Amino acid sequence: MTGAHGLRARLLGIDTHAETVVFLRKDCSVCRSEGFTSHNRILLSAGDRHAIATLYQVESDFLNCVEAGLSDATWQALGVAEGDLITARHAPPVESLGLVRSRIFGHALDERAFGRIIPDIVAGRYSALEVTSFITACATKPLAQDEVCFLTRAMVGAGKRLDWHGQVIADKHSVGGLPGNRTTPIVVSLCAALGLMMPKTSSRAITSPAGTADTMETLAPVALDEQALRAVVGQEGGCIVWGGAMQLSPADDILIRIEHALDIDSEGQMIASILSKKIAAGATHLVIDMPVGPTAKVRGAAAADSLTAGLSAVAEAFGIRIKVMQGDGNQPIGRGIGPALEARDVLAVLQGRPDAPQDLRARALALAGGLLELCGKAPAGQGTILASTALDDGRAWSKFQRICAAQGGMRVPPQARHRRALAASHAGVLESIDNRRIARLAKLAGAPYAKAAGIELHVRLGDQIAAGTALCTLHAEAEGELAYALSYAEANPDIFGVT
Amino acid sequence: MTGAHGLRARLLGIDTHAETVVFLRKDCSVCRSEGFTSHNRILLSAGDRHAIATLYQVESDFLNCVEAGLSDATWQALGVAEGDLITARHAPPVESLGLVRSRIFGHALDERAFGRIIPDIVAGRYSALEVTSFITACATKPLAQDEVCFLTRAMVGAGKRLDWHGQVIADKHSVGGLPGNRTTPIVVSLCAALGLMMPKTSSRAITSPAGTADTMETLAPVALDEQALRAVVGQEGGCIVWGGAMQLSPADDILIRIEHALDIDSEGQMIASILSKKIAAGATHLVIDMPVGPTAKVRGAAAADSLTAGLSAVAEAFGIRIKVMQGDGNQPIGRGIGPALEARDVLAVLQGRPDAPQDLRARALALAGGLLELCGKAPAGQGTILASTALDDGRAWSKFQRICAAQGGMRVPPQARHRRALAASHAGVLESIDNRRIARLAKLAGAPYAKAAGIELHVRLGDQIAAGTALCTLHAEAEGELAYALSYAEANPDIFGVT
């Protein structure tokens, strides 16, 4: 209604995550005539495609007066090519923001409200500040259980949903916060080998040194589309692929980025995040791995029990059978931290090698056993035993190799060129490992971008350590990253608590 | 602790308001070795100056691999020159964010907590997302009265404070939301003429078509420093200057920008915002103008009474005598909306011209009268009468001219080159004026950046309107802006409700 102006699209190649941003010259005729100021929300149109973007005004020459400099997200949302004509005007009010404000001012939201807010977030109609405000409001006045259900349903509805035509679909999720703990490839191989259908979609790392998709990618291709996924699952009963191309609960990807930036994990949002992904993937039976420990994501028994109750209630509302399996979150599981290093742990367990990390083996067997029982493939209390036979007789390893082949061919995880052991400065008993800082150390060494980088642990809690014992080995692809991780390790000698 | 890397400062001239932002090439050695990703908070250092900035990664050639592209706020915070050496590393954790999280998770904050959060915000240690989260948390679980006091004190403490050595200092504030309503220059002139000391600092427009400082600037210089302000006040007993150079409650400037972006005004933050500025300016006696109306900021009696009670209680806790004067907020006050147009209304009232807007005159007299009574210069009920004698006998006009001269010389407000009347499409009674959309119309015409631009109203609520009657005249400095406002007016014929 208030006019429109021609600008030329220019890709600035700026990564702002999901937030759509546009840069315009402060002195351009559009800014002057529209009365735009920085932080305004601007409706950009290119042909019949539209995107709302946050404006930053520019007063220097890297941009000229007829250019609209676009961030990556804006570029993709508009689907333009360099130099395409774009018009800009004030964005119309986003009506659902009134609902967010109403929640801030004390009112609970109903199903219709979440059903309007979430699609607007997915469509990019909210600025990052507005998403932040929504997340904070839902944490400060915690979501009631019905609100969690509404949010979950809205998140599922705002993306694609895989339909398995009434079949039993097994799934597994880890609440996270524990480095290593790469049970998924083992659990999928076991369950598929024992007759469950388990089309597992996983994420890449957001803040951790490796996501399941990062690790699996060192063993086989993971970027499959839905058709390819269905072909693998149809043939092998299971897969381990990256879910990012599937558009399952895309709202979750947006919310989780901002929750990480804020370091806020509210229980209600965590439940909606986990379950919306699983419902969208078509899960009917779900095992949740919940490590509990002082430096894990879930830090104590009270939080664990509350989250377990919440997950169970909401899963039930959606007709999903769920089993939450709390476990020891005091130290990493497995030896490797980082994509390839974790992949080698997975191979060692699947191949039944004597040097395989026993904690990883035990945790994977417990989770697979739980899932087998939940799906009625094993009597209560017998799941782990059933799983261990399929691991020991090579069926799981064989299944894993066939899944890798079906996904595009098995690969050998890369080895890092640069390694350095970290030695204990004094003798004693290993009393603690700081999960957060050991993850940080692995990231400084290059994980997850450098696939071979990370940490190889040589000790476990309770071990007697002599002075000079190697506690772990840093793996890096670049010498600079090795040096970098080393300096962090030197500055943080208490990552390993030896007393 | 984790290394540092050399980059060269480059001013990108990007206005991000207060938020410090840095742009680095994704493939530069710093990003690679530090493991930076977009949205990370980065500690930048140039010599002994430091700033924490939000990182956006760039994958195109407008920036090279040794450049750190800085937003305006980052540039100012670091105090660098083009090409200066900058190092970048991960920002250390901002400890006070733990207090924000603790409030999100249900705990009230004490004085010490606000005393840590607010200085960190002023120092730029919070990202815009983090400030948003703080604001939303304080609105969703409303601030208790003691928290409002702690917040106010922390905001005062994080900036400069004018010391008037125990003198009675009169001040006035309008809660806002009503276009026009430019009473301040009249109130200051009246009060100073009648012997009160009134060193008035005002703001520029944030989202409105004019702030008091914008209007006053068309009549005299307003960008005075503290020394110049003291000289004017010492000589004339009053001044009307821009407060922005004074560093009074700089936290407020940061919080209010984000509150506006979110369209959130919580009562507790509004109280802290108003009172922190006044306490920092040294006010001892304060009159608050609170327009109440359906399209004003305070929309009804309940909100008005609650805000009045809150302001009074917190002002009392700081030893400030306060009088809140609720008033009719159903329509703009005065005829002009926009800096120069409002200035002409002010002059008409001060000069006692017969065509002066009587509503502006009456409101200014009421506020000045209230302040005179509050400060003991007039008996209860006699303030307005006292004020009107000083207006009618020319003392206020004479005082205003002397204040302008002392501030650097009186100016003549500019006139707009382009004007166009908006006519009523049908006959009837004027039943409503939409304050928000009429403000928007004035901004589309160019206000406040184009000083002469805005709206001149010709009608008042209750007027009998014939079809074709001019409801208002648009004033613009550029033809394009005039056309632009016209098209908005055509699309919004119900800004004026004629029935």
Average pLDDT for B390-395:
98
Contacts of A141 in chain B (CB under 8 A): 140-141
A41-65 burial, b for 16+ CB within 10 Å, e for fewer? bbbbebeeebbbbbbbbbeeebbee
pLDDT digits (tens, 9 = 90+) for B141-150: 999 999 999 9
pLDDT digits (tens, 9 = 90+) for B309-324: 999 999 999 999 999 9
The average confidence (pLDDT) of chain B is: 94
Top-confidence residue, B30 or A85: A85
| CA pair distance B148, B314, nearest whole angstrom | 7
Q: State residue B242 phi and psi, 5-degree precision.
A: -80, 130
Evaluate if residue B241 carries a pLDDT over 90: yes
- Please give the distance of CA A360 from its chain centroid, rounded to a whole number: 20
DSSP letter at A414 equals: P
- Judge: B103–A258 Cβ closer than 8 Å, yes or no: no
Average pLDDT for A376-388:
97
CA distance to B22, B131, B248, B458, per residue, from B185 (Å): 41, 34, 20, 23
Query: A435: burial class by Cβ within 10 Å (0-12, 13-18, 19+)?
Result: buried
| CA pair distance A372, B346, nearest whole angstrom | 81
Nearest CA in chain B to A491: B1
Per-residue model confidence (pLDDT) at position B32: 78
pLDDT digits (tens, 9 = 90+) for A247-275: 999 999 999 989 988 888 899 999 999 99
How confident is residue A5, by pLDDT bands cut at 50, 70 and 90?
low
CA distance to A426, B181, B190, B329, B461, per residue, from B464 (Å): 93, 23, 34, 20, 9
pTM exceeds 0.95, yes or no: no
Interface contacts A/B by beta carbons within 8 Å: 177
Tally of CA atoms within 13 A in the half-sphere of A12 that contains its CB: 29
Active site residue B392: no
Top-confidence residue, B41 or B350: B350
Per-residue model confidence (pLDDT) at position A1: 31
Q: A487 CA to chain B: closest CA distance, Å?
A: 6
Evaluate if residue B9 carries a pLDDT over 80: yes
pLDDT more than 90, % of chain B: 86
Average pLDDT for B417-425:
96
Nearest Cβ partner for A136 among B58, B104, B106 = B104
Contacts of A446 in chain B (CB under 8 A): 35
Question: Which residue's structure tokens are 């949205």?
Answer: B39
Evaluate if residue B3 carries a pLDDT over 50: no
Closest C-alpha among A299, A283, A254 to residue A117: A254
pLDDT digits (tens, 9 = 90+) for B25-70: 998 888 877 778 888 889 999 999 999 999 999 998 999 999 999 9
How confident is residue A3, by pLDDT bands cut at 50, 70 and 90?
very low
How confident is residue A462, by pLDDT bands cut at 50, 70 and 90?
very high
Closest C-alpha among A316, A293, A45 to residue A177: A293
Looking at B171, B265, B345, B359, which residue is catalytic?
A: B265
How confident is residue A190, by pLDDT bands cut at 50, 70 and 90?
very high
Interface test with B, best of A11, A15, A269 (most B CBs within 10 A): A15
- Judge: B104–A258 Cβ closer than 8 Å, yes or no: no
Contacts of B261 in chain A (CB under 8 A): 39, 127, 129
Q: A283 CA to chain B: closest CA distance, Å?
A: 31
Which of B151-155, B203-207, B473-477 has the lowest average pLDDT? Answer: B203-207
Average pLDDT for A221-229:
96
How confident is residue A2, by pLDDT bands cut at 50, 70 and 90?
very low
Top-confidence residue, B475 or B33: B475
Looking at the DSSP bridge assignments, the partners of residue B52 are B43
pLDDT digits (tens, 9 = 90+) for A281-328: 999 999 999 999 988 889 999 999 999 999 999 999 999 999 999 999
How confident is residue B1, by pLDDT bands cut at 50, 70 and 90?
very low
Q: A250 CA to chain B: closest CA distance, Å?
A: 19
Query: Which own/partner pairs from A300-308 qualify as long-range (CB within 8 Å, at least 24 positions apart)?
Result: A303/A267, A306/A267, A307/A175, A307/A267, A307/A270, A307/A271
**In chain A, how long is the greatest CA-to-CA distance?**
76
pLDDT digits (tens, 9 = 90+) for A140-156: 999 999 999 999 999 99
**Both tokens assigned to B125:** 């240690």
Evaluate if residue A460 carries a pLDDT over 90: yes
Per-residue model confidence (pLDDT) at position B5: 62
Give a three-class secondary structure readout of chain B. CCCCCEEEEEECCEEECECCEEEEECCCHHHHHHCCCCCCEEEEEECCEEEEEEEEEECCCCCCCCEEEECHHHHHHHCCCCCCEEEEEECCCCCCHHHHHHHHCCCCCCHHHHHHHHHHHHCCCCCHHHHHHHHHHHHHCCCCHHHHHHHHHHHHHCCECCCCCCCCCEEEEECCCCCECCCHHHHHHHHHHCCCCEEEEECCCCCCCCCHHHHHHCCCCCCCCHHHHHHHHHHHCEEEEECHHHCECHHHHHHHHHHHHHCCCCHHHHHHHHHHHHHHHCCCEEEEEEEECCCCCECCHHHHHHHHHHHHHHHHHCCCEEEEEEEECCCCECCEECHHHHHHHHHHHHCCCCCCCHHHHHHHHHHHHHHHHHCCCCCCCCHHHHHHHHHHCCHHHHHHHHHHHHHCCCCCCCCCCEEEEEECCCCEEEEEECHHHHHHHHHHCCCCCCCCCEEEECCCCCCEECCCCEEEEEEECCHHHHHHHHHHHHHCHHHEEEC
- Judge: A130–B105 Cβ closer than 8 Å, yes or no: no
Per-residue model confidence (pLDDT) at position A92: 81
Indicate which residues of A carry an active-site annotation: 265
Per-residue model confidence (pLDDT) at position A34: 76
The average confidence (pLDDT) of chain A is: 94
